[in-house]
Amino acid sequence: MNTMDIIDSRIDPWEILGVSGDAGDREIEEAWRKRSAGGGNRDKIHQAYKMICGERERAMYRLLSPGTPENLKDIKDGMPLRSRYSGPGVWYSALKREVERTLTDRDGNPE
């Protein structure tokens, strides 16, 4: 596939093939065969496979990524959650209250 084909495709080949970003050639080929045999849009599955079937192709796709986002909201939605380390106490405390609530709901009699 040439550069503009990849730019214009606007697909995530890893997602279409259902493989992780660090999948190797063999895993990708197996996923392609499995998905092709399982129905679905075969053209799209094949296109996704061609995009990432080898290391060079994957490097090319990554160089051409990310595609230009449509709007800032899409970017925001795609951002990972900004997690914070706050110790085990908040987890235990929340669970304790949920356990107590469940007991109350079940028996009307918290321990």
Partner 1 sequence: MIKKINRYCLLNDDQPERKELFIELRRNLYSPALVASCDFIPPEHPLMKDAITLSDGFEALTNGMFNEEALQDVKKISSTSLLAPWSALISGVHRFYASDYEGCLNDIEGIEEDTAPALFKPFFSALLNSSGKIPSGSIVPDTASPEALSQQWKELKESILENTRVIDDSLDLIQEAVSMEDLLLDTAGLLVRDIIKEDRESACKILLWCFEQLQVKDMLSDRAVSKGRSLFGDRDGYRLAALASISFDPDRSLLYWLHSLQAFLDSRNTNRNSVQAYLSIIRDMAESVEQEFELTEEYIQLTGSLVSDIAESIGHIYPELPETRDLPEDPFRAIRQLCGEQVQPQPQRKVREVKTAAVQLELFAF
Give the interface with partner 1 as residue ranges (CB under 8 A): 2-4, 7, 15, 54-60, 62-64, 66, 68-69, 71-72, 75-88, 90-99, 101-103, 111
Which residue lies nearer to partner 1 by CB, 43 or 84? 84
We find the least distance from the C-beta atom of residue 103 to partner 1, in angstroms, to be 7
| C-alpha to C-alpha distance for 31 and 63, rounded to whole angstroms | 23
Task: Judge residue 64's burial from the number of C-beta atoms within 10 Å of its C-beta, 0-12 exposed, 13-18 middle, 19 or more buried.
Answer: middle
CB nearer partner 1, residue 33 or residue 91:
91
Task: Report helix, strand or coil for 74.
Answer: helix
Least Å from the CB of residue 94 to partner 1: 4
Separation between Cα atoms, residue 61 and residue 52, nearest integer Å: 7
Write down the least CB distance from residue 43 to partner 1, Å. Answer: 19
Nearer to partner 1, 43 or 77 (CB): 77
CB-neighbour burial class of residue 10 (10 A; exposed 0-12, middle 13-18, buried 19+): exposed
